Amino acid sequence: MNQDTPIWNFTKTGEYTVISGYHLCNQLWNHLSLEEQGNRSLIEEAKKSCSGIWTLNLPPKIKTLWWRILHDGLPVAENLKRRNIKIDSTRLMCGDYPESQYYLLEHIVKVIHDAIRDLNQWDEANSCLNQRNTENERLNEESFQIQQMVPSSARYYCQIDASWKNDMEAAGIGNQLLQGSTSIRATNTPREAEAEALRIAVFQMRALAFGKVHFISDCKTIMDDELAQYNIRATTWKVRNTESISMIQDIVSVAKDNGFTFSFSPRNRLRLVDELAKKARCNNQNYSM
């Protein structure tokens, strides 16, 4: 009985030849399914991506990592198991999933997003801190400028301001010494609102037994005209007749008995009390002083 011998079915003689193998490869390639051709295109695209990695302006470690990712060459549990390397196939990071490149990349992306979020929060916190420091520096500078205006005989200084919109709406007043503000009845003019704010502040200081208080306002006509006459020991009857004459007389009367003094300051040095007054007017809030 003759011994069995291998037969090459693609030649008449049954013997393998290189040319027959070449023709067979061409026939197989031409009969690839669309799915296989699609896979081949993906492989070609992956190869192009791999070659493009080395031209990127990235650290060598990053280039190597992505080259290995595209070649499915990371030593994750699934890849090691496929190469018959004994290893626990559960995901080493959390144990919930098999450790694969997909979940490793998902973890990397999460870490990056968390780092970006933390960086943004850090930048925001630093920005807020810088704003607070800048605001504190501004307030300290304004406070220093105000203190330069206060007479040496005064024990306290009190910044006063009023916020006025029209004669139909309530006005707002602010008091820096008490850190308070309130809305008041509508007044005919902004000057009348300023006079009312100062009158209220003067009566409050007297009620709280504050002596030798120096009042500061940005209403020049009141501080440098009417009340300046009091500072040079003039009588209240020399004050010109205005809609706020009765308020000025009340202020002068109380100031005379309590050692109160007055001076003008530009609005840009009274920002805190100006904000208090505007807040009270806009919110039409009740007394909070």
* Domain match, 120 and 217 both: no
Q: What is the DSSP string of 144-212?
A: HHHHHHS-TT-SEEEEEEEE---TTS-EEEEETTTTEEEEE---SSHHHHHHHHHHHHHHHHHHTT--S
**CA–CA distance, 223 with 182 (Å, rounded to integer):** 22
Q: 3 in a domain, yes or no?
A: no
Q: 289 in a domain, yes or no?
A: no
Of 149, 180, 205, the position where a domain reaches its end is: 149
* Domain match, 119 and 162 both: no
* Domain match, 136 and 33 both: no
**CA–CA distance, 239 with 188 (Å, rounded to integer):** 19
* Domain match, 60 and 102 both: no
**CA–CA distance, 35 with 24 (Å, rounded to integer):** 20
* Domain match, 221 and 272 both: yes
* Domain match, 168 and 276 both: yes
Which range of residues forms the domain containing residue 227? 152-283
Residue 66: enclosing H or E segment and its boundaries?
A: helix 60-70
* Domain match, 245 and 170 both: yes
Q: 110 in a domain, yes or no?
A: yes
Structure tokens at 109: 């992306």
Quote the pTM value.
Answer: 0.49
- Please list the pLDDT of the chain residue by residue as tens digits (289 residues): 456 676 767 777 877 676 766 666 666 666 555 445 555 555 566 556 566 777 778 788 888 887 887 777 878 777 777 777 776 655 455 555 567 777 777 777 788 888 888 888 888 888 887 787 777 776 666 666 677 777 888 888 899 999 999 989 999 999 988 888 899 989 989 999 999 999 999 999 999 999 899 999 999 888 877 776 655 554 444 444 456 778 888 898 898 889 898 988 888 888 888 889 999 999 887 655 5
Of 127, 149, 171, the position where a domain reaches its end is: 149
Q: What is the CATH number of the domain that holds 171?
A: 3.30.420.10
Q: 1 in a domain, yes or no?
A: no
CB atoms within 10 A of CB 285: 14
Residue-wise pLDDT tens digits, 111-143: 888 888 888 888 888 888 778 777 777 666 666
* Domain match, 193 and 209 both: yes
Tally the domains of the chain.
3
* Domain match, 125 and 82 both: yes
Of 94, 129, 149, the position where a domain reaches its end is: 149
Residue-wise pLDDT tens digits, 14-62: 776 767 666 666 666 665 554 455 555 555 665 565 667 777 787 888 8
Q: Are 100 and 77 in contact, with CB atoms under 8 Å apart? A: yes
Beta strand 261-264 with 213-217 is parallel
Packing angle, helices 60-70 and 34-53, rounded to 10: 170
